[in-house]
Amino acid sequence: MLDAHQTAASADRKAVPARLDALVIGAGVAGLYQLHQLREMGLKTHACDTASDVGGTWYWNRYPGAKFDSEAYIYQYLFDEQLYKGWTWSERFPGQPEIERWLHYIADTLDLRRDISFSTKVVKAVFNDATGRWTVETDQGDVIDTQFLIGCTGMLSAPLEDRFPGQSSFRGEIVHTGRYPKGGLSLDGKRVAVIGTGATGIQVIQTIAPDVAHLTVFVRTPQYVLPMKNPKYGPDEARWYKGRFDELKANIPHTFTGFEYDFENTWAELTPEQRRSVLEEIHADGSLKLWLASFAEMFFDEDVSEEISEFVREKMRARLKDPYLIDILVPKTGDYGFGTHRVPLETGYLETYLRDNVEAVSVRDNPITEIVPEGVKLRDGTVYAVDTIIMAVGFDAGSGALARIDITGREGMKLAEEWRKDIRTTLGLMKFGFPNLFMTGAPLAPSAALCNMTTCLQQQTEWIARCIQDMRDSGKDVIEPTEAGEDEWVRHHDETANATLIAKTESWYTGSNVPGKPRRVLSYTGGVGTYRKKCDEIAADGYPLFAMSKVAAPQDA
Ligand code: NA7
């Protein structure tokens, strides 16, 4: 299903150097900054990416309507004032093409491309106990000997492409949103099916509906949505946010979710009228604030959760009006609470279903059983004939991208097998049994889900860089979590996560969207600021959850 233009290696593909201090997998938000930091530290560092250019998530997710749900001016690198101020956004929540251009600006300004091999997929990595180094192989035939292997592979980059039997029999075009072709698809005048109404499906549906002849949306679980307010940004707004650089840099890394706002209200201290007024005011902001900065109690207290959920449902019902649409598109009391999985922002999404050319089909009790040559077939035998199927069915989040690489650690341990048994990490940064393998956007850290990604990925890559520097300063070659250290982090993670209502909801946040995936809240839910503090303390205390060692034999033996 991959588009050949996205993966075919060009004749001028850079070979990966055969010996490195650090190999970074991925040239998205995390990989670009990690490469920059390690290079600045003087490490011989190189990055690989399957894609033909930088961007990561923002390279692959080029489906119609893909855009930020974080305000652009906070989805930023904050390590360099000039870098921040040198880029100007056109609106509050820009779309994928502009975001991709911004990442090109980052790569160009920091001159990163010279150390990146594009169209190069890391397929295998084996740790060598004797040398304390990794031997890494790519699909282009590179074999690399590297001390550190750093997975900047993204927490949502392993698309669930083969969801239904019979997909290959479909006569038209079938595409997963996370592998949307670079040149786009011609949808004008076509009969299109969209499967899935998560954050992605919603963006696709509201965007393509006016252009297609007929749109059939297959809806399984109704989704809470919030209306986005997306003003254009001109010189005044640019002056405003660029002038706030110091304030943003001081504030954002320490908030609960890495956004600029934080929880300010206490439910129990307000009267019902005051609560309503707070909710109305925040809802009108047109951002994720209602989820991430209204009342923290919504994540812990069933009654508060139900009241805030009903507030959102009421807003949705008022827009949909039609009882059939309300029945299949608005969550019901007892389904799950608002904010216990990803809340999408939308622009006229609900009104899209009021169009004559749009049909919503509930597949909750009558599921999709297969894709047939003509289209989508449901259990009761109904076939919806379409020309194009857009699968907005999600990802194997957090663990998926690294688990799809054949990674072997100490004593033959396979990462994919370990995570098939139980999804465990230490701080979401390393895994017991896999020395000198660092990861970002991995399970048991906020960057696995509940975070403004740039905030968390900067913090994690900076921690990794600091750790490597500390190792060098103390003459150590190898770092790995101890078994007890990993137990401690997993225990703390679980205690924190299981106190929230997130643990009870079915979604990619708990891994329940992937059949057979061990259930665990993927994201650390103690807060981005708290996580940062813990990571910093662990580093300052000499890495108590980890063991560092020196390789006895010469490294190049
Ligand atoms: P999500 O949030 O995992 O959404 C996937 C959607 O696909 C969701 O509505 C699913 O319904 C639906 N789905 C998955 N499998 C099926 C089947 N078999 N039949 C019908 N519907 C199905 O993925 P997104 O890409 O939207 O978003 C991922 C993240 O990317 C998002 O949270 C942002 O952070 C960016 P379900 O809810 O499972 O009933």
Residue closest by Cα to atom 29 of ligand 1: 199
CA of 67 to the centre of ligand 1 (A): 16
Residue 282, token pair as written in the block = 């925040």
Q: What is the DSSP code string of 308-375?
A: HHHHHHHHHHHHH--HHHHHHHS--TTT--TTSSPPPEESSHHHHTTSTTEEEEE-SSS-EEEEETTE
CA of 529 to the centre of ligand 1 (A): 28
Q: Which regions in the chain score pLDDT beneath 70?
A: 1-9, 553-557
Instruction: Answer yes or no: is 485 within a domain.
Output: no
* pLDDT for 10: 72
Distance CA 362, CA 354 (A): 16
Contact 69, 200 (CB under 8 A): no
* CATH for 139: 3.50.50.60
In the block, residue with structure tokens 């690399």: 144
Tell me the best of 393, 450, 509 to mutate to test the pocket of ligand 1, counting ligand atoms within 8 Å of each CB and taking the most.
Answer: 393
* pLDDT for 552: 83
CA of 365 to the centre of ligand 1 (A): 17
* pLDDT for 557: 43
Instruction: Answer yes or no: is 35 within a domain.
Output: yes
Point out which residues pair with 345 in neighbouring strands: 226
* pLDDT for 8: 63
Which residues, including other chains, have CB under 8 Å from residue 550's CB and lie 6 or more apart? Answer: 475, 476, 477, 478
* Structural domain harbouring 424: 14-158+397-477
pLDDT in tens, 309-368: 999 999 999 999 899 999 999 999 999 999 999 999 999 999 999 999 999 999 999 999
Q: Which residues of 201-239 are buried (b: 16+ CB within 10 A; e: fewer)?
A: bbbbbbbbbeebebbbbbbbbbbbbbbbebeebeeebbe
Starting from the edge strand earliest in sequence, which strands make up the sheet with 383-385, in order? 368-372, 375-378, 383-385
* pLDDT for 12: 83
Tell me the best of 513, 514, 517, 522 to mutate to test the pocket of ligand 1, counting ligand atoms within 8 Å of each CB and taking the most.
Answer: 513
pTM, entire model: 0.97
Q: What is the DSSP letter of 245?
A: H
Point out which residues pair with 384 in neighbouring strands: 376
Instruction: Answer yes or no: is 455 within a domain.
Output: yes
Distance CA 462, CA 469 (A): 10
Report phi then psi at 288, rounded to 5. -85, 10
Three-class DSSP labels, 65-92:
CCECCCCCCCCCCCCCHHHHHCCCCCEC
Instruction: Answer yes or no: is 127 within a domain.
Output: yes
Q: What is the DSSP letter of 64?
A: T
Instruction: Answer yes or no: is 102 within a domain.
Output: yes
Distance CA 7, CA 118 (A): 9
Instruction: Answer yes or no: is 78 within a domain.
Output: yes
Q: Is 106 a pocket residue for ligand 1 (Cβ < 6 Å)?
A: no
| Count of domains observed in the chain | 1
Looking from the CA of 435 toward its CB, the CA atoms found within 13 Å total 27
Instruction: Answer yes or no: is 138 within a domain.
Output: yes
One-letter identity of residue 379: R
Tell me the best of 161, 175, 200 to mutate to test the pocket of ligand 1, counting ligand atoms within 8 Å of each CB and taking the most.
Answer: 200
Atom of ligand 1 at shortest range from CA of 449 = 34
CA of 394 to the centre of ligand 1 (A): 5
Instruction: Answer yes or no: is 143 within a domain.
Output: yes
Q: Is 400 a pocket residue for ligand 1 (Cβ < 6 Å)?
A: no
